């Protein structure tokens, strides 16, 4: 195979959900109820102004532990109707109960989701055979493509390489949101499967691209979307100098958004920009004045203005 053919083959990578995805916060009204109008406004902003190819709803950043099943379904339906013609809507449906996860997956499909994000069952720490059975059961229950979410520092259990390789054989398991922070493990899976890997850590997006990832499911991308997408596209085009410059520029916000829990600072930043966000639900607490001041400093360090 010639060099040109190798390059063409390498670039013919599957990106089932595009390059840039944001794990969208769930806007609430001042009294803490679901703000569907605000969610539609925010979704339009993230797609039309920040360049997102897909939005992930009802993830941890979307405060899924504190929203009801009915709220989750209403949010998917509203956002899918608003932006589903120009972006994919991926619904977080993962719980630590396989039966409940399947129920949420079926409801999300009916509500208009284009794909599902299924996190490793948390807290109960099932064995790898349990993970294999859990993810397979969910994939068997709907017709939607599935992104696995590997985040052992929250779930307590990593999805092992051999488990990921086995799951990749399922026709509807097509992607992984990788928040394991182990690029060697990532390398083994991307070299052995066709799974589309998305960085689940904003600051690791560029190095993850080097070992086979195709994009990011971001948090800071509520604000950095345009430049983060430009960084990914520059890397894809072979312009590593530009990609590295953008990575270094955005690093203060890639990391700064997690000085407190990510949802807290995203909602504070959106509120400062006059975009829908509202308060967080307990046990989270809203950002302090000092935290907001630090967020402004982190934005400024990244060359982005926060009013």
Which candidate, 74, 87, 79, 85, places its Cα nearest to that of 43?
A: 79
Question: Residues 149, 197, 198, 235: which is the catalytic one?
Answer: 149
200 class by beta-carbon count within 10 Å (0-12 exposed, 13-18 middle, 19+ buried): buried
Cβ atoms of 181 and 208 within 8 Å: the answer is no
Distances, alpha carbon 286 to alpha carbons 169, 266, 268, 269, 276, in Å: 43, 10, 8, 11, 15
273 as an active site residue: the answer is: no
Cβ atoms of 167 and 134 within 8 Å: the answer is no
Cis peptide before 10 (omega within 30 of 0): no
Question: Residues 72, 177, 180, 229: which is the catalytic one?
Answer: 177
Neighbours of 178 (CB within 10 A): 30
Element (H, E) at 295: helix 289-301
149 as an active site residue: the answer is: yes
Tell me the catalytic residues.
149, 177
């Amino acid at each position: 195979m010639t060099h040109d053919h190798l390059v063409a083959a390498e670039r013919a990578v599957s990106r089932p959900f595009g390059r840039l995805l944001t794990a969208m916060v769930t806007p609430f009204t001042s009294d803490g109820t679901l703000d569907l109008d605000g969610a539609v406004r925010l979704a339009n902003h993230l797609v039309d102004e920040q360049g997102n190819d897909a939005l992930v709803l009802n993830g941890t950043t979307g405060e899924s532990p504190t929203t009801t099943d009915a709220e989750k379904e209403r949010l998917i339906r509203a956002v899918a109707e608003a932006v589903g013609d120009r972006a994919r809507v991926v619904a977080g449906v993962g719980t630590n109960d396989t039966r409940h996860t399947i129920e949420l997956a079926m409801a999300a499909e009916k509500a208009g989701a284009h794909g599902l994000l299924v996190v490793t069952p948390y807290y109960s720490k099932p064995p790898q055979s349990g993970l294999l059975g859990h993810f397979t059961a969910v994939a068997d229950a709907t017709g939607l493509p599935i992104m696995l979410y590997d985040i052992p520092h929250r779930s307590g259990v990593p999805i092992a390489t051999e488990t990921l390789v086995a799951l990749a054989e399922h026709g509807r398991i097509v992607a992984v949101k990788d928040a394991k922070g182990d690029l060697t493990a990532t390398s083994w899976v991307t070299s052995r499967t066709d799974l589309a890997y998305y960085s689940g850590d904003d600051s690791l997006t560029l190095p993850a691209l080097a070992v086979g990832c195709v994009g990011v499911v971001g948090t800071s991308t509520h604000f950095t979307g345009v430049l983060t997408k430009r960084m990914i596209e520059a890397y894809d085009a072979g312009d590593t100098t530009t990609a590295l410059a953008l990575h270094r520029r955005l690093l203060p916000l890639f990391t700064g958004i997690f000085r407190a829990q990510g949802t807290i600072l995203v909602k504070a930043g959106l509120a400062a920009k006059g975009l829908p966000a509202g308060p967080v639900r307990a046990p989270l607490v809203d950002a302090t004045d000092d935290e907001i001041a630090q967020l402004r400093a982190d934005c400024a360090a990244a060359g982005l203005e926060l009013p």
